[in-house]
Amino acid sequence: METLIYRSLAMPDDPRREELDRLEREKARIDKRARAKVWTELYCGLGLLVAQTAGFMRLTFWELSWDVMEPICFFVASVHFALAYCFFLRTSTEPSFEGYFRRRFQTKQRKMMDEHNFNVLRYRELRRAFYPDEAAPDTGRALA
Protein backbone atom coordinates (compact mmCIF):
# COMPACT_ATOMS: atom_id res chain seq x y z
CA MET A 1 0.00 0.00 0.00
CA GLU A 2 2.88 2.38 0.76
CA THR A 3 4.32 1.83 -2.69
CA LEU A 4 1.05 2.84 -4.34
CA ILE A 5 0.77 5.94 -2.21
CA TYR A 6 4.42 6.84 -2.86
CA ARG A 7 3.93 6.50 -6.62
CA SER A 8 0.80 8.64 -6.67
CA LEU A 9 1.97 11.50 -4.43
CA ALA A 10 4.93 13.76 -5.05
CA MET A 11 6.97 15.06 -2.14
CA PRO A 12 9.00 18.29 -2.37
CA ASP A 13 12.34 16.45 -2.37
CA ASP A 14 11.13 13.57 -4.53
CA PRO A 15 13.96 11.98 -6.57
CA ARG A 16 11.52 11.45 -9.43
CA ARG A 17 11.58 15.22 -9.99
CA GLU A 18 14.99 14.93 -11.69
CA GLU A 19 13.66 12.23 -13.99
CA LEU A 20 10.65 14.38 -14.87
CA ASP A 21 12.90 17.38 -15.54
CA ARG A 22 15.10 15.26 -17.79
CA LEU A 23 12.05 13.93 -19.69
CA GLU A 24 10.60 17.44 -20.05
CA ARG A 25 13.89 18.75 -21.46
CA GLU A 26 14.05 15.84 -23.89
CA LYS A 27 10.41 16.37 -24.91
CA ALA A 28 11.02 20.11 -25.41
CA ARG A 29 13.98 19.28 -27.68
CA ILE A 30 11.85 16.81 -29.66
CA ASP A 31 8.99 19.31 -29.93
CA LYS A 32 11.34 22.03 -31.17
CA ARG A 33 12.77 19.81 -33.90
CA ALA A 34 9.32 18.51 -34.89
CA ARG A 35 7.97 22.06 -35.10
CA ALA A 36 10.92 23.11 -37.29
CA LYS A 37 10.33 20.19 -39.66
CA VAL A 38 6.64 21.03 -39.99
CA TRP A 39 7.42 24.70 -40.68
CA THR A 40 9.83 23.55 -43.38
CA GLU A 41 7.04 21.50 -44.96
CA LEU A 42 4.64 24.45 -44.81
CA TYR A 43 7.14 26.83 -46.42
CA CYS A 44 7.84 24.28 -49.17
CA GLY A 45 4.09 24.06 -49.78
CA LEU A 46 3.92 27.84 -49.99
CA GLY A 47 6.76 27.80 -52.52
CA LEU A 48 4.93 25.24 -54.65
CA LEU A 49 1.72 27.28 -54.58
CA VAL A 50 3.59 30.44 -55.57
CA ALA A 51 5.32 28.57 -58.43
CA GLN A 52 1.98 27.14 -59.58
CA THR A 53 0.35 30.59 -59.52
CA ALA A 54 3.26 32.15 -61.39
CA GLY A 55 3.15 29.35 -63.96
CA PHE A 56 -0.59 29.79 -64.48
CA MET A 57 -0.17 33.55 -64.82
CA ARG A 58 2.54 33.09 -67.43
CA LEU A 59 0.46 30.57 -69.37
CA THR A 60 -2.65 32.74 -69.13
CA PHE A 61 -1.18 36.11 -70.14
CA TRP A 62 1.78 35.23 -72.40
CA GLU A 63 1.54 31.70 -73.78
CA LEU A 64 -2.15 30.79 -74.00
CA SER A 65 -5.42 32.58 -73.36
CA TRP A 66 -7.97 32.53 -70.57
CA ASP A 67 -10.26 30.40 -72.74
CA VAL A 68 -7.67 27.62 -72.62
CA MET A 69 -6.55 28.17 -69.03
CA GLU A 70 -10.00 28.47 -67.43
CA PRO A 71 -10.79 24.73 -67.46
CA ILE A 72 -7.23 23.90 -66.39
CA CYS A 73 -7.49 26.26 -63.41
CA PHE A 74 -10.92 24.84 -62.56
CA PHE A 75 -9.62 21.26 -62.51
CA VAL A 76 -6.55 22.19 -60.48
CA ALA A 77 -8.77 23.98 -57.94
CA SER A 78 -11.04 20.92 -57.86
CA VAL A 79 -8.05 18.68 -57.13
CA HIS A 80 -7.00 20.99 -54.29
CA PHE A 81 -10.51 20.80 -52.83
CA ALA A 82 -10.56 17.00 -53.19
CA LEU A 83 -7.22 16.74 -51.38
CA ALA A 84 -8.51 18.91 -48.53
CA TYR A 85 -11.65 16.77 -48.31
CA CYS A 86 -9.53 13.58 -48.23
CA PHE A 87 -7.47 15.12 -45.43
CA PHE A 88 -10.68 15.74 -43.48
CA LEU A 89 -11.98 12.22 -44.11
CA ARG A 90 -8.73 10.62 -43.03
CA THR A 91 -7.98 12.75 -39.97
CA SER A 92 -11.39 14.15 -38.89
CA THR A 93 -9.55 17.46 -38.63
CA GLU A 94 -10.64 20.70 -40.19
CA PRO A 95 -8.70 21.16 -43.45
CA SER A 96 -7.15 24.46 -42.43
CA PHE A 97 -3.53 25.47 -42.17
CA GLU A 98 -3.77 25.23 -38.39
CA GLY A 99 -5.34 21.77 -38.59
CA TYR A 100 -2.69 20.63 -41.04
CA PHE A 101 0.06 22.03 -38.82
CA ARG A 102 -1.29 20.29 -35.70
CA ARG A 103 -1.68 16.97 -37.49
CA ARG A 104 1.79 17.06 -39.04
CA PHE A 105 3.30 18.16 -35.72
CA GLN A 106 1.71 15.22 -33.90
CA THR A 107 2.96 12.83 -36.55
CA LYS A 108 6.51 14.21 -36.48
CA GLN A 109 6.46 14.30 -32.67
CA ARG A 110 5.37 10.67 -32.44
CA LYS A 111 8.03 9.53 -34.95
CA MET A 112 10.78 11.43 -33.18
CA MET A 113 9.69 10.08 -29.79
CA ASP A 114 9.92 6.57 -31.21
CA GLU A 115 13.35 7.29 -32.71
CA HIS A 116 14.68 8.65 -29.41
CA ASN A 117 13.02 5.94 -27.31
CA PHE A 118 11.12 8.56 -25.33
CA ASN A 119 9.11 6.83 -22.59
CA VAL A 120 5.71 8.51 -23.02
CA LEU A 121 4.00 6.35 -20.42
CA ARG A 122 6.59 7.19 -17.76
CA TYR A 123 6.40 10.87 -18.69
CA ARG A 124 2.62 10.89 -18.26
CA GLU A 125 2.88 8.99 -14.99
CA LEU A 126 5.33 11.52 -13.58
CA ARG A 127 3.24 14.45 -14.84
CA ARG A 128 0.19 13.02 -13.05
CA ALA A 129 2.20 12.54 -9.85
CA PHE A 130 3.62 16.09 -9.79
CA TYR A 131 0.71 17.92 -11.39
CA PRO A 132 -2.46 15.99 -10.49
CA ASP A 133 -4.85 18.81 -11.41
CA GLU A 134 -3.31 19.40 -14.80
CA ALA A 135 -3.41 17.20 -17.90
CA ALA A 136 -0.11 16.43 -19.58
CA PRO A 137 0.79 19.15 -22.11
CA ASP A 138 0.21 18.40 -25.77
CA THR A 139 -1.97 15.45 -24.89
CA GLY A 140 -3.26 13.98 -28.05
CA ARG A 141 -2.47 11.06 -30.23
CA ALA A 142 1.24 11.57 -29.73
CA LEU A 143 1.02 11.14 -25.98
CA ALA A 144 -1.97 8.82 -25.84
Three-class SS string for 62-108? HHCCHHHHHHHHHHHHHHHHHHHHHHHHHHCCCCCHHHHHHHHHHHH
3 state SS of 9: coil
Confidence of residue 7 (pLDDT cuts 50, 70, 90): low
Packing angle of the helix pair 66-91, 97-115 (nearest 10 deg): 50
Per residue in 24-63, pLDDT (tens digit) is 999 999 999 999 999 999 999 999 999 999 999 999 999 9
What pLDDT is recorded for position 144?
A: 40
Q: What percent of the chain has pLDDT over 70?
A: 83
Q: Please report, to the nearest 10 degrees, the dihedral formed by the alpha carbons of residues 123, 127, 129, 133 taken in order.
A: -150
CA–CA gap between residue 55 and residue 48 (Å, rounded)? 10
For residue 56, give the nearest of 69, 74, 67 by alpha carbon: 69
For residue 111, give the nearest of 42, 33, 43, 39 by alpha carbon: 33
Q: What is the pLDDT averaged over residues 9-22? A: 75
